[in-house]
Amino acid sequence: MLTMVKQAQALHLQGVIFQAPEAVDEAQLVVLNSLGESISLTRKQGVEAGLVVMDLAKDLRERAHDGFAYALVKGLRKGSVIWERRLGRLRL
């Protein structure tokens, strides 16, 4: 059984896992609030094709205002977007 603290921690979204279709120089996790404003940008260098794990910003919940956000990931090579995946709505 999980303790109450462990249960509370398990309820908080901490990151995302996605499938990168091809290798890129940089992957970006972009999170938008319900108004469409960017509230978080996380970067990861040298991403290979396959499963990728990226962490969300710890203070994302406060920046989302209403507890909902929208996430997408982009793969960049030499500054150009090679692929983009829409992850959908996040409940923070």
Count of CB atoms situated within 10 Å of the CB of 26: 16
CB-based contact 11:63 (threshold 8 Å): no
Q: How far apart are the first and last CA of the chain?
A: 24
Domain of 55, in residue numbers: 4-91
Specify the pLDDT at position 33: 87
The CATH code of the domain that includes 84 is: 2.60.40
Phi-psi region of 61 (alpha: psi -120 to 50; beta: other; left: phi over 0): alpha
Lookup: tokens for 59: 């203070």
Domain count, the chain: 1
Specify the pLDDT at position 23: 96
Instruction: Say if pTM beats, i.e. exceeds, 0.75.
Output: yes
pLDDT digit string (tens) for 3-30?
544 544 444 567 889 999 999 999 999 9
pLDDT digit string (tens) for 23-76?
999 999 999 988 888 999 999 999 999 999 998 887 777 777 777 889 999 999
